[in-house]
């Protein structure tokens, strides 16, 4: 998405009121306490407040600050992360402004997040790789935290969370004593938010998940190194794999294929992945688990076309592609890619076979994803029965006011 240009600065050298402050701005009458203040010109139904919603800003407020927020009438609105350089100028942390204490707030939010994973979901019983904090789902916007064995990886999406990183690590260490911490952010986030994480040496570790072992590249892999969100779906695929020829497309580090081979008793497993480094990890993970599978390092689209031309068929196919819709401008092209990928997969399905097709594009709704499958089935001249719908694991909770957090969609189909 192309961000709008910043408004020109006023005579005081600060940006003009379309997104920030004026010199000599008047603080709300209700304002007390040490936090800089921001006054809104419009409220939001969500936790994200954009530039156009911002009225006056305390001249003392700096990018990355925690700020006290007031509505246009001057009434307390809450506490937020502030960054005038970002399209999302304010990320609301809490609507409780009175007596706000940062240390107490972050300690409580992190404790609640850990409690969900450990006490309620009991994830430590089945894995040492899971999401500890999921952004707005855990009330900590701009932050994702993943646990990988003895390592805790912070993925930072906001300047303010970057500035809170030391505090976050210290508080998390109380729940995970002895953990080693790493920080990550995409180049796009660093550019948009205005911070940079120093280069880190390559860090690799091993994790377990339902008895399946994986080697994870914590510094060079996608996102934080592993896709914890598909854990439950991987296990479900293994239960359907017995005696079947399995094709794992866009396999990354071999998750679905390894589950099918080790836990599911698949007849054969083929993993298709374009990235050479990921293909090396697939082979390494196969040896780590004592299973045999075929790794094909190639783009999924020509591979499926070639298999169709060769009249090759599979009994169970998993499609878990990268995010093919990353912006509104790329929506139509990305949507068509989902149609094409599913059409090609359906063309190499055996009769009565199972297709598990996923999308991690948040901009593609459930209805649109099902429409893509419907179009693909018609083009492939296949009858497709959807018997299950799933998403990310429960360590990815979705806030009621942020439905976009439900990004992962998986359709489970029988193909006739």
For 225-268, write each residue's pLDDT tens digit: 899 999 999 999 999 999 999 999 999 999 999 999 999 999 99
Shared domain for 156 and 137, answered yes or no, is yes
Looking at 49, 80, 100, the residue that finishes a domain is 100
Domain-located, residue 219: no
Same structural domain, 347 and 387: yes
CATH assignment at residue 11: 2.30.130.10
Q: Give the domain-ending residue among 193, 219, 246.
A: 193
Together in a domain, 312 and 175: no
Tell me, yes or no, whether 236 lies in a domain: yes
- What pLDDT does residue 225 have? 87
Same domain, 106 and 65: no
Whether 314 and 340 share a structural domain? yes
Q: Note whether residue 212 is domain-resident.
A: no
Distance separating alpha carbons of residues 226 and 301, to the nearest angstrom: 23
In a domain, 93, yes or no: yes
Angle between helices 255-262 and 276-289 (to 10 degrees): 20
Residue 213 counted as domain residue:
no
Q: What local confidence, expressed as pLDDT, does residue 24 receive?
A: 57
Token couple for 383: 């009858």
Domain final residue, candidates 43, 67, 100:
100
| pLDDT at residue 201 in the model | 87
Same domain, yes or no, for 17 and 144? no
Q: Which residues contact 47 (CB under 8 A, 6 or more apart)?
A: 91, 92, 136, 141, 399, 401, 402
Q: Given 271, 360, 372, 413, which residue is catalytic? A: 360
**Are 255 and 402 found together in one domain?**
yes
The 3 state secondary structure assigned to the chain is CCCCCCCCECCCCCECCCCCCCCCCCCCCCCCCCCCEEEECCCCCCCEEEHHHEEEECCCCCCCCEEEEECCCCCEEEEEEECCCCCEEEEEEECCCCCCCHHHHHHHHHHHHHHHHHHHCCHHHCECEEEEEEHHHHCCCCEEEEEECCEEEEEECCHHHHHCHHHHHHHHHCCCCCCEEEEECCHHHHHHHCCCCCCCCCCEEEEEECCEEEEEECCCCCCCCCCHHHHHHHHHHHCCCCCCEEEEECCCCCHHHHHHHHCCCCCEEEEEECCHHHHHHHHHHHHHHCCCCEEEECCHHHHHHHHHHCCCCEEEEEECCCCCCCCCCCHHHHHHHHHHHHHHHHCCEEEEEEEEEEECCCCCCHHHHHHHHHHHHHHHCCCEEEEEEECCCCCCCCCCCCHHHCCCEEEEEEEC
CATH at 397: 3.40.50.150
Q: Is residue 209 part of a domain?
A: no
Q: Which domain holds residue 64?
A: 1-100
CB 382 within 8 A of CB 413: no
- Label residue 59 exposed, middle or buried (CB < 10 Å: 0-12, 13-18, 19+): middle
Split into its structural domains, the chain has a count of 3
Instruction: Say if 326 falls within a structural domain.
Output: yes
- Residues 298 and 379 grouped into a single domain: yes
In a shared domain, residues 245 and 385: yes
Mean pLDDT by 10 residues, the chain (416 residues): 34 37 72 95 91 95 97 96 94 96 98 98 97 97 97 97 98 97 94 92 94 94 89 98 98 96 98 95 96 97 97 97 93 97 98 97 95 97 97 96 92 97
CA 237, 147, 403, 104 torsion: positive or negative?
Answer: positive
CB 27 within 8 A of CB 37: yes
In 3D, which of 302, 223, 289, 300 has the Cα closest to residue 255? 289
* 177 and 322 housed in the same domain: no
Residue 152 near residue 146 (C-beta atoms within 8 A): yes
Q: Is 372 among the catalytic positions?
A: no
Q: Is residue 181 part of a domain?
A: yes
- Are residue 231 and residue 333 in the same domain, yes or no? yes
Looking up residue 158, the CATH number of its domain turns out to be 3.30.750.80
Tokens linked to 21:
């402050």
In a shared domain, residues 93 and 114: no
Q: Which residues pair with 151 in a beta bridge?
A: 148, 180
Q: What's the predicted TM-score (pTM) here?
A: 0.90
């Amino acid at each position: 998405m192309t961000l709008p240009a910043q408004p020109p600065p006023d005579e005081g050298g600060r940006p003009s009121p379309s997104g920030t402050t004026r010199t000599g701005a008047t603080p709300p009458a209700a304002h007390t306490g040490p936090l800089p203040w921001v006054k809104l010109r419009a409220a939001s139904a969500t936790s994200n407040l954009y530039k156009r919603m911002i009225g006056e800003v305390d001249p003392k407020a700096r990018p990355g600050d925690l700020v006290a927020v007031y509505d246009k009438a001057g009434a307390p609105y809450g506490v937020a992360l502030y960054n005038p350089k970002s399209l999302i100028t304010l990320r609301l942390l809490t609507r409780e402004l009175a007596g706000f204490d940062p240390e107490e707030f972050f300690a409580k939010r992190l404790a609640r997040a850990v409690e969900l994973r450990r006490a309620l979901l009991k994830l430590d019983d089945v894995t040492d790789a899971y999401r500890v904090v999921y952004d707005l789902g855990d009330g900590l916007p701009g932050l994702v935290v993943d646990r990988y064995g003895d390592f805790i990886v912070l993925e930072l999406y906001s300047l303010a969370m970057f500035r809170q990183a030391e505090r976050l690590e210290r508080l998390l260490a109380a729940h995970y004593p002895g953990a080693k911490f790493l920080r990550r952010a995409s180049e796009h986030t660093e550019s948009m938010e205005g911070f940079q994480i120093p280069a880190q040496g390559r860090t690799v570790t091993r994790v377990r998940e339902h008895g399946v072992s994986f080697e994870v590249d914590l510094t060079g892999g996608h996102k934080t190194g592993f896709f914890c969100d598909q854990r439950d779906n991987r296990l479900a695929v293994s239960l359907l794999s017995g005696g079947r020829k399995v094709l794992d497309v866009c396999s990354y580090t071999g998750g679905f294929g390894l589950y099918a081979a080790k836990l599911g008793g698949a007849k054969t497993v083929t993993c298709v992945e374009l990235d050479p480094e990921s293909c090396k990890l697939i082979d390494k993970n196969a040896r780590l688990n004592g299973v045999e599978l075929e790794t094909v390092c190639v783009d999924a689209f020509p591979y499926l076309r070639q298999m169709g031309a060769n009249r090759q068929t599979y009994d169970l196919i998993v499609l878990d592609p990268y995010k093919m819709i990353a912006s509104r401008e790329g929506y139509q092209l990305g949507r068509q890619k989902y149609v094409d990928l599913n059409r090609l997969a359906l063309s190499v399905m055996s009769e009565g076979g199972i297709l598990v097709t996923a999308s991690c594009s948040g901009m593609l709704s459930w209805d649109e994803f099902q429409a893509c499958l419907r179009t693909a089935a018609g083009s492939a001249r296949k009858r497709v029965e959807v018997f299950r719908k799933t998403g990310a694991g429960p360590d990815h909770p979705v806030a009621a006011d942020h439905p976009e957090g439900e990004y992962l969609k998986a359709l489970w189909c029988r193909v006739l």
